[in-house]
Chains A and B, each alone.
Chain A
Amino acid sequence: MAATAPASPRTPYGRARLLALGRATKPIREASGIARGMFWAGVGITFAFILMAFLAPVISRYNFSQYKANGVRFPQLGHPSGLHWMGTTVQSDDVMARVIYGAQTELKVVVIALAMSLSIGVPLGLISGYFGGILDRALVLIMDAIFAFPYLLIAIVIAFVLSTSSIGGGIFTAAIAITAAYVPLYFRVVRNHVISVREEPYVDAARALGARPRTVIRKYVFFNVVQNVPPIATLNAADAILLLASLGFLGYGIQPTQGAEWGYDVSRAVSDASSGIWWTGLFPGLAIVLLVTGLTLLGEGLNETINPVLRRRRFGQFDFEPVPGAVEEAE
Chain B
Amino acid sequence: MAGTSLRTYLITRLALVVPMVFILLTLVFLLLRVAPGNPIQAALGGHVPAAYVHQIEHRLGFDKPLITQYGEYLWNILRGNFGTTITDNRPLSQIIEQNGAATLELTFFAMLIAIVVGVLIGLVAGRYRDTPLDIFGRLFGIFIYATPVFFLGLMAQLVFGVWLGWLPTSDQASPITQALLQTHTNIFFVDAIWDGNWGALWDITKHLILPATTLGLVTAGVFIRLVRVNVIRTMRDDYIEAARARGIAEHRVVFAHAFKNALVPVITIVGLNLAILLGGAVLTETTFNWPGIGHELVVYLENRDYTAVQGIIIVFALVVVAVSVLVDFLNAYVDPRIRY
Residues in A lying within 8 Å of B, measured CB to CB:
32-34, 141-142, 144-146, 148-153, 156-158, 160-161, 164-166, 238, 242, 245-246, 249-252, 263, 266-267, 269-270, 273-276, 278, 281-282, 285, 288-290, 292-293, 296-297, 300, 309-310, 312
In whole Å, how far is B244's beta carbon from the nearest beta carbon of chain A? 13
In whole Å, how far is A25's beta carbon from the nearest beta carbon of chain B? 22
Main secondary structure of the interface of B (DSSP, over half): helix
13 contacts between A and B (CB under 8 A): A33-B130, A148-B20, A148-B324, A164-B35, A246-B148, A249-B283, A250-B301, A266-B151, A270-B287, A285-B148, A285-B151, A292-B146, A296-B142
Q: Which residues of B contact A282 (CB under 8 A)?
A: 155
Q: How far is the CA of A149 from the CA of B130 in the complex (A)?
A: 35
Main secondary structure of the interface of A (DSSP, over half): helix
- Does B147 lie at the interface of the complex (its beta carbon under 8 Å from any beta carbon of A)? yes
Asked if B35 contacts A165 (CB within 8 A), the reply is: yes
Residues in B lying within 8 Å of A, measured CB to CB:
19-20, 23-24, 27-28, 31-32, 35-37, 39, 42, 130, 134-135, 142-143, 145-148, 150-151, 154-155, 157-158, 161-163, 169, 229, 232-233, 275-276, 278-280, 282-283, 286-287, 297-298, 301-302, 304, 309, 313, 316-317, 320-321, 324
Most buried by B among A141, A250, A263, A312: A250
Known contacts A164-B304, A281-B155; A150 and B162 CB within 8 A of each other: no
Asked if B150 contacts A246 (CB within 8 A), the reply is: yes
In whole Å, how far is A205's beta carbon from the nearest beta carbon of chain B? 31
Q: Which residues of A contact B39 (CB under 8 A)?
A: 164
Q: How far is the CA of A288 from the CA of B142 in the complex (A)?
A: 13
Asked if A278 contacts B158 (CB within 8 A), the reply is: yes
Known contacts A150-B279, A266-B148, A310-B232; A144 and B142 CB within 8 A of each other: no
Q: Which residues of A contact B321 (CB under 8 A)?
A: 148
Q: How far is the CA of A157 from the CA of B297 in the complex (A)?
A: 10
Q: How far is the CA of A312 from the CA of B232 in the complex (A)?
A: 12
In whole Å, how far is A322's beta carbon from the nearest beta carbon of chain B? 16
Q: Which residues of B contact A292 (CB under 8 A)?
A: 145-147
